[in-house]
Amino acid sequence: MKKVITYGTFDLLHQGHINLLRRAKALGDWLIVGVTTDNFDLERGKMNTCGNVMERIEAVKATGLVDQVIIEEYKGQKIDDIRKYGVDIFAIGSDWTGYFDYLKEFCEVVYLPRTEGISSTQLRQERPTVRIGVIGTGSIASRFVPEAAFVNSNAIVAAYNPDPQAAQAYCTRFGIPTVAHSPEELYAACDAVYIASPHYTHYEYARQALMAEKHVLCEIPFVFNVREAEELFDLADRKGLVLMPAHKTAWCPAYGHLFTLLKSGVIGEIAEVNASVTTLTDEHSEKLDSQRLGGSMNENGCFPLLPILQLLGTGYRNINFYSKMKNDVDMYTKAVFRFDHAVASFQVGLGVKTEGNMVISGTKGYVYVPAPWWKTDYFEVRYEDQNKNKKYFYPFAGEGLRYEIKEFVSCVLEGRTLQSKLTRKEILTMTRVQEQYLQGENVYKI
Ligand code: C2G
């Protein structure tokens, strides 16, 4: 029996893919198709794939041309597969001509004619464009525009800042067509807004934007009051709009896989999570202004809260906060959580620097994520027996905002109002912790 193998993403499966599969099948008796995983695609720079790996596998199977589907998850796997399955012919489209000649050492390599005039990229570009307006034009907003350029189906069309000169400078710098002179002018120009203004203004802009029927991607910290967060989610639901807090870590590939690995028990039962985020800041910065919800806990707290609440659950018993104060704000805060079967702690600082790593301890081993863990591309799972230790590497492209932007744009286009990787309950609990701190509950000031 002659075995043929081919590989691909097969996103938005189209006639070009079907022709390729038919031609590959005709080369032998048994056709194996390797469908790339979402992570492998990210790693090889394909970040705009619409269907997830399961959807793409189903589409390939539904062609009826395939005898066996496998998943492709790492570079170099093709050689392993050819040997493992006893493959006679490796076939691939002519857009790859020459690239896979190194496989000739292991089997016959055939480049099949590519179908002209159709591609997944073209189909993705035909999707409607989400027009995004930016509110607040500071440093995070400046990182947002170049990152959004890596994501399909969006365009940054307008920006607003109460300081018109700042808005003008931002629009000139990034070639944004509309300098909005009021939030209303901004809402009129777009389908969705990205709120990147100081955090004490988030609630009001988010409410206004939702009232104006706009989808909202809101920077974190989202809001500081559970009642306000619930009100905004209710409003978004009533209007059928997407309201997504922009927690970039939740969408970052390494963190995503760390979460699934830990949930599948690689270190046994989790007994402790400890994470730190410190970002030394100029004393005169707005981030340290007590009148504007400044301070370390307000500014950085939602980062360590993500792994703590996602790994240990939202049902903590209590939290004690220890804060080193200056000018009425915390320059550094350590928080200690009691859960029924675990403890957690974090350190956040704007005026104190410490190692920004994360350690998750379990009954069988621990995970070490080096600083800065919240935008990591690498972590290690370590055991008593060092021979069992494993290192994991992932892409973390640019500033890492593109992953959350991709999720937001997909949610808007697909009418998906809930996000699987960061639940409402987790966001509301984060907000509750922030609120509890602001109310001084179990806060010990030093
Ligand atoms: N294809 C084609 N005609 C088109 C579009 C695609 O013949 N109009 C072929 C490609 O040449 C490839 C297959 O369909 O052989 C799958 O294409 P993609 O989904 O774009 O996957 P690709 O990125 O080419 O993956 O390990 C993955 C492989 O290296 C290739």
pLDDT at 53 over 90: yes
pLDDT mean over 217-222: 97
284 or 85: which carries more pLDDT confidence?
A: 85
Q: Of all protein residues, whose CA lies closest to atom 7 belonging to ligand 1?
A: 114
pTM: 0.90
pLDDT at 374: 95
pLDDT at 34 over 90: yes
Taking the C-alpha atoms of residue 60 and residue 72, their distance in angstroms, rounded to an integer, is: 14
Read off the pLDDT band of 161 (50, 70, 90): very high
Residues with Cβ within 8 Å of 163's Cβ and at least 6 positions away in sequence, in order, are none
Strand-pair partners of 90: 5, 109
100-147 pLDDT, tens per residue? Answer: 999 999 999 999 999 999 999 898 888 899 999 999 999 999 999 999
Which of 176, 196, 193 shows the shortest CA–CA distance to 184? 193
Q: How would you class 163 by CB atoms within 10 Å of its CB: exposed for 0-12, middle for 13-18, buried for 19 or more? A: exposed
pLDDT at 419: 85
Q: Could you tell me if the CB of 49 is within 6 A of ligand 1?
A: no
pLDDT at 301 over 90: yes
pLDDT mean over 250-265: 93
pLDDT at 259 over 90: yes
pLDDT mean over 416-441: 95
Q: Of all protein residues, whose CA lies closest to atom 12 belonging to ligand 1?
A: 93
Contacts 24+ apart (CB under 8 A), 391-396: 392/254, 392/257, 392/258, 392/261, 394/39, 394/42, 394/43, 394/252, 394/253, 394/254, 394/257, 395/42, 395/43, 395/253, 396/252, 396/253, 396/254
Cα within 13 Å of Cα(374), Cβ side: 23
Taking the C-alpha atoms of residue 166 and residue 184, their distance in angstroms, rounded to an integer, is: 18
pLDDT mean over 361-387: 97
pLDDT at 283: 87
Taking the C-alpha atoms of residue 241 and residue 208, their distance in angstroms, rounded to an integer, is: 13
Q: Could you tell me if the CB of 115 is within 6 A of ligand 1?
A: yes
Pocket test for ligand 1, best of 74, 95, 115, 118 (most atoms within 8 A of CB): 95
Inter-residue contact 71 to 54 (CB < 8 Å): no
Q: Is the dihedral of CA 197, 199, 205, 211 positive or negative?
A: positive
Share of the chain above pLDDT 90, in %: 90
Strand-pair partners of 245: 218
Inter-residue contact 114 to 18 (CB < 8 Å): no
Ligand 1, residue 112: give the atom nearest the CA.
Answer: 7
Inter-residue contact 304 to 346 (CB < 8 Å): yes
pLDDT at 397: 84
Q: Of all protein residues, whose CA lies closest to atom 13 belonging to ligand 1?
A: 8
Taking the C-alpha atoms of residue 372 and residue 369, their distance in angstroms, rounded to an integer, is: 8
pLDDT mean over 305-333: 97
